[in-house]
Structure 1
């Protein structure tokens, strides 16, 4: 679900997580997580005004419905460690990263006579998809979302554009390098070569070609209906040139990416470890530590956001219709998601090896199904470790064992690709939805979006299975 923020904590998960995984917990503790997801999916449809005013209260209630029974069942000390570890080592860096990218991307705007035609939209989606592997799915999403919204601002029918944006830029495009999505960084830190992920290019190329072709036909149909109803782009400005304002903010985006990469690589350096191999940092409790790599990451990201605002004229943000609503909504909802999903992650870590998965196709769908709703980083690690323990004698040698290339491809693609199946499957998904809603694009509901993913993504993933993973 996360981008790189989970990387530091996933590589050196503190004693709290290790303790939590050492003893079984009752599956019914997953109910608050399911309840929160259903609330996000259903309540906005039934009581939208109430939800807008009270979503924070709903998140608090569902979080307490997990925390209190967990404390009664597993003890106050263990509960404190699990919740604080989640907040400081997962949520804090997650929301700081989104905040930084949100701020910096909001200071870049596009102007000119570029109208959102099917051809232009395909080109922009393709550019964003390729960028995702080099600045991360979150970085590419935040960089591309406003330009695509702007060039299509004259369109009446445009929600499908943002849905395919989430499919391609916010998810599938991040599979080619460890920079693109955190599961691949976890593989890199366990002995998978940095450029090994380029083995996934044929899968990405196939998926992107199929989805862009489908998108083109859908967009052309809606484009023609818009034109027939009299919707026309305003391309009356002279010159016909496209101008990008605030382009210097690309430097601050790169600065954020560097900070995130450091958070994943510094924990492997001896200078950041104690004698026992634990990452050094600030002790929140005796069992929970906020590592120095995460602190460095947060400092770099906040510095980039501050410098971006200081060096960019506010008229750029005005042209982008920049507000704080989207980041506030994501911050509120995801703290509840992060907290309430802890039992599911613990159970997955405990019992993932017992699922009897030993074929690439099985790994592809199991990793993908769980990554649609849970953090894809621990999901990837569970199945990577499981594959490494199956006793294969050929394939790629990693620190968790020998893994056949097709098996590793299946785990990687499932974890990265299927985050597109739901709004909560990957961090930028909900952010793109929120920014789209703010700009007057009527995005589908939680279940409405899943209808799109079932209709268009699942058939593509079935083809992936037949072509690449059997």
Structure 2
């Protein structure tokens, strides 16, 4: 009933504007208007306000609310373009974009969840800073999802005794879930998309290491100041015992290596075999990669002792929530991405024209900010792809004569994925895990207050000196 009412209201807005003709065969972003973005805005507002304003309803029915917004997106498409066009759009979103995304996230979540770090870590400012720095360093090797899943539970256990610990998780999302993944295609999905488009594997390492070091160091300094201030206001605790750590489930380190190998293999091996599913091309190497990732996840579940996952507090609920919410986001974003891809002919023309200076040269600072701000709210992987294409889409040219532009796009997509809980998949996953563990995490807008106050000034400095 809710989804029918939503679809009817949005349908009336669309038809009253005369935006489309029912005979059109495909979603033409140049002919869409802003009303088509309402379901996407709706799912974002629902995610933002649900846990804060109606938590019981949200936790029991977030799947139904997500479905309602997805239906509200697809129903007008079916009504105005026809059911085949809506079906083709759904298949493309599900198989062409969402499937590989969620399979990789799922595999890293399961495998990393089998690695248990035990010992007597106590969340002092020194220990917390060391964990954040280590997570930032490994995020480009095992991916932001892998690094987050390995370290978030030890970090939560180390800080469980502290009355105020949400700020530790917030900085964990900034650094480990986002900025640390800027140095390789394995680190963050946008860079992996660039790799598949022809960007060299080590290009981001060579061109973004200085900026990533600058941003990471600045954030760690800010964190130390905040954490020391919080610790001084907390009740005094006894002297910490000598540090003793153990790592269990080491077989999962090998499985992470297999995940990396599967991803690299799908990029280098191109057999030229493609299957067409309702207008969406699916390449053989990508299908085999996704199948291999599922097998690796199952191997992890089989080879890891249950007590290791139990000690980690491992459950499938966080990945289930991420899978459902991002499924709705990938559907609701269909018309938004169509409007973005229409370029100067679409409703986003004023925004997109801002990335070109009067002399025709790319405006790299604007590439950084527009890619970044949209990445924070539209998910950074498809946003990177849009601006990569807007900059010409030629990887060879972007890596050489337009290297500053590609660097600006890459930094914007990766760094500013930290601006909201939905900018990058690990953000919401860490938020869900922390909430399960009793951490009083800020809501959607509360987190944005943290991110804007802390990150935006650093990004302004980066714009002045690093782009």
TM-score band (shorter)? 0.7 to 0.9
2-structure distance, mates of 1:103, 1:397: 33
Aligned partner of 1:65 among 72, 97, 101: 72
1-structure distance, mates of 2:339, 2:35: 11
1:223 and 2:231 matched = yes
1:152 and 2:159 matched = yes
2-structure distance, mates of 1:449, 1:352: 33
1:288 and 2:280 matched = yes
2-structure distance, mates of 1:451, 1:243: 37
Q: 1:402 to 1:209 in 2, by over 3 A?
A: closer
1-structure distance, mates of 2:268, 2:149: 24
CA contact (8 A) 2:365 2:408 kept: yes
2-structure distance, mates of 1:45, 1:397: 43
Q: Which moved more, 1:451-460 or 1:320-329?
A: 320-329
Q: Which is bigger in relative contact order (C-alpha 8 A, separation at least 6)?
A: 1
2-structure distance, mates of 1:36, 1:189: 30
Give the CA deviation at 1:73: 2.2
1:13-24 mapped onto 2 (5 Å cutoff): 20=27, 24=31
1:363-442 mapped onto 2 (5 Å cutoff): 363-388=367-392, 398=396, 403-442=401-440
What SS is found at the alignment partner of 1:194? coil
2:193 corresponding residue in structure 1: 186
CA contact (8 A) 2:104 2:293 kept: yes
1-structure distance, mates of 2:158, 2:125: 11
Q: Deviations over 1:73-102 (max 9, x none)?
A: 222211111111111222222222222222
Q: 1:265 to 1:429 in 2, by over 3 A?
A: farther
Give the CA deviation at 1:176: 1.1
Give the CA deviation at 1:370: 1.0
Q: Which moved more, 1:459-468 or 1:37-46?
A: 37-46
2:93 corresponding residue in structure 1: 86
2-structure distance, mates of 1:22, 1:406: 29
Unaligned runs of at least 5 residues, structure 2:
1-24, 357-362
Q: 1:87 to 1:351 in 2, by over 3 A?
A: same
CA contact (8 A) 2:178 2:424 kept: yes
1:4 corresponding residue in structure 2: none
Alignment coverage as a number of residue pairs: 430
1:458 corresponding residue in structure 2: 456
Q: Which moved more, 1:204-213 or 1:179-188?
A: 179-188
2-structure distance, mates of 1:75, 1:129: 47
CA contact (8 A) 1:397 1:403 kept: no
1:443 corresponding residue in structure 2: 441
Q: 1:154 to 1:232 in 2, by over 3 A?
A: farther
2-structure distance, mates of 1:81, 1:140: 35
Q: 1:119 to 1:259 in 2, by over 3 A?
A: same
2:48 corresponding residue in structure 1: 41
1:319 corresponding residue in structure 2: 311
2:337 corresponding residue in structure 1: 345
What SS is found at the alignment partner of 2:314? coil
